[in-house]
Amino acid sequence: MTRHVEHVMGTVFSFDVRRSGGRHDDAGTSVTEAVAWLHHVDEVFSTYKPDSPVSRLGRGEIALADCPPEVADVLRMCESVNDRSRGYFTAYPGGRLDPSALVKGWAVERASAMLRDAGAPDHCVNGGGDVRLSGSAGPGRSWRVGVAHPLRPGDLAAVVTGNDLAVATSGTAERGAHVIDPHTGRPATDLASVTVIGPDLTLADAYATAAFAMGGAAREWVEELDGYEAFAVTATGGTWRTSGL
């Protein structure tokens, strides 16, 4: 087993790589490469670094063609989720370029793919609470991910169990009411948290942000998404989940 914790992108990323027939040294090397990727993403997409390509693009100092190619890829994905969510997801919250609500999940998804390509199929990558589970936790063992209760610190609201899953949560527990409803320009307050589960963390992360912004309409919307389910805690402490969860 190889474990590693890295502080990057303004949060904590953890790697848990299980032995699956490959060499232990190979797992360590693949984690090192995945960590380097996360730092690259931070340098390109951080809105807190004034010299990052995304910061400079947002200020109009450079054009999209002047940015690394992954910036255009990410913005295309953001536009796709914007369309799919009827505008509840945006790469321009408050009118300022900030694709962070998709970037973290996308970065973790890519890091997980790097580990699989390097011969480490059984692993968990956790990026600030957004989790990509690959393979299994061990022979005959599923991964288990606890969903923190947003209104009761230290308690779990649910436990997600399975293999080859992405689990992303958007809520108020860590950063307060920070998700803006693009249609009103005000913080979304109907939900305390919403967790989206599906096969891809890029989309699960973005869908969780969109669902949180939707509030009460989120359950019906997620039901329409192919392959994705959701669990939510409302602002008053109630819960709901989609039918396939």
Q: Report the b/e string of 109-122 with b at 16+ CB within 10 A.
A: bbbbebbeebebbb
Please state, in angstroms and rounded to a whole number, the distance separating the CA atoms of residues 233 and 91: 25
Query: Quick one: pLDDT at residue 27?
Result: 76
How many CA within 13 A on the CB side of residue 48? Answer: 7
> Which positions of the chain have pLDDT values less than 70?
20-25, 173-177
Query: Quick one: pLDDT at residue 65?
Result: 98
Query: Quick one: pLDDT at residue 16?
Result: 96
Query: Quick one: pLDDT at residue 174?
Result: 62
For residue 27, the one-letter residue type is A
Q: How far from chain centre, in Å, is Cα 119?
A: 23
Query: Quick one: pLDDT at residue 177?
Result: 62
**N-to-C CA span, the chain:** 30
Q: Is 13 helix (H, G, I), strand (E, B) or coil?
A: strand
* The residue count for the chain: 245
Q: Are 103 and 41 in contact (CB under 8 A)?
A: yes
11-17 β-sheet, strand order: 2-8, 11-17, 123-127, 130-134, 165-171, 191-198, 229-234, 239-241
Query: Quick one: pLDDT at residue 48?
Result: 96
**In sequence order, what are the beta bridge partners of 70?**
none
Please state, in angstroms and rounded to a whole number, the distance separating the CA atoms of residues 150 and 232: 10
Query: Quick one: pLDDT at residue 21?
Result: 57
Query: Quick one: pLDDT at residue 173?
Result: 62
| pTM score of the predicted model | 0.94
Query: Quick one: pLDDT at residue 20?
Result: 65
Tens-place pLDDT, residues 51-108? 999 999 999 999 999 999 999 999 999 999 999 999 999 999 989 999 999 999 999 9
